[in-house]
Structure 1
Amino acid sequence: MSTVWQALDDSPLVTVLTLPPGGQRRRLVMDKQRKPVARAREFTRGALADWSWPGADDIVLLVAELVANAVLHAGGPQDLTLHATDTRLRVEVADASRTAPAPREPHQPSTPGGHGLHIVRTVSDRWGTTPHPFGKTVWAEIDAPHS
């Protein structure tokens, strides 16, 4: 379930991430929050700007899809966690459902709906789920560009 992406114009991706040892972590409690997708986008965009993390638009899209899936299929998200290190960004959306997400296979671009996990797989380098006693966490990781 891994996808490697690069700049479409073959330009070098050069970024210097200035994160402390151990990285940065931010958590947004979302339980019963109004407009969770919009709030998650705003929260993510702010964190990525503070961390000078590149590719914010794609990552904000990925976060929006994970949160929307929690709204549609899991009774809503409980929290969103972003953890950035020098090597990767990890996005986690926890919810109260124990049902693992199931990507629609094969992806059918002309069909309405069912594109969220396809987008997550395309934008992320890795993704998956981690069960916990009160539900699950759906996570995605994006590797940091090499400087």
Structure 2
Amino acid sequence: MAEQTRRLVLGGATAGVVARCRDFTRRALADWLGPEDSEAGDDVLLLVSEVVTNACLHAGGPRELVLRHSPGMLRVEVSDDSPEPPVRRATRDRSRPGGHGLVLLERLAKNWGSLPAPEGRSGKTVWLEVTVPAS
């Protein structure tokens, strides 16, 4: 099976965008993995929520969500307009909520990172890869 790609253009929106991205991802996973593989799907949905939330909180909102599925692997890419790469806080600031997104990425994703936007654009893409059952 060749790689399959799904793209959701968001244009920097923040209102309702996390739920929209989760729904989009849930539909893609159902098509690619089948509805019975809920454990892998739950982890992916949690990771999508965290990465999209980070784009909303720290980068003005996601520009685009891209899902790439190949046998045994799923890659999630969230692009935004901020050139700043994700940074895990060294010490937890108890006065601010959240702060767990990158910890979850480190624990649940096989690999993750960020890439600067292509030449001529500002921003970056935060990506993550997870192992999924081969369909």
Q: TM-score range by the shorter chain?
A: 0.7 to 0.9
Q: Which structure has the greater CA radius of gyration?
A: 1
8 Å CA contact 1:23–1:83 kept in 2: the answer is: yes
In the other structure, the counterpart of 2:123 is 135
Task: State percent identity of aligned pairs.
Answer: 48
8 Å CA contact 1:40–1:80 kept in 2: the answer is: yes
Does 1:126 find its partner at 2:111?
yes
Measure, in 2, the Cα distance between the counterparts of 1:49 and 1:63: 15
| Secondary structure class of the residue paired with 2:75 | strand
Does 1:23 find its partner at 2:3?
yes
Per the alignment, do residues 146 and 31 of structure 1 end up closer, same or farther by CA in structure 2, a change over 3 Å counting?
closer
Pick aligned residue for 2:78 from 50, 71, 93: 93
Displacement of 1:32 after TM fit? 4.0
Measure, in 1, the Cα distance between the counterparts of 2:97 and 2:9: 30
Question: Equivalent residues in 2 for 1:6-45 (5 A)?
Answer: 20=1, 22-33=2-13, 34-45=15-26
Measure, in 1, the Cα distance between the counterparts of 2:103 and 2:92: 7
Q: TM-score of the superposition, structure 2-length normalised?
A: 0.84
Q: Which structure 2 segments of 5+ residues have no match?
A: none
**Matched residue count:** 126
- TM-align CA RMSD: 2.2
In the other structure, the counterpart of 1:51 is 32
8 Å CA contact 1:107–1:115 kept in 2: the answer is: no
AA aligned to 1:116 is: G
Measure, in 2, the Cα distance between the counterparts of 1:27 and 1:75: 19
Measure, in 2, the Cα distance between the counterparts of 1:134 and 1:81: 18
| Secondary structure class of the residue paired with 1:90 | strand
Give the number of the structure whose residues are more often helix, by fraction: 2
Measure, in 2, the Cα distance between the counterparts of 1:60 and 1:66: 10
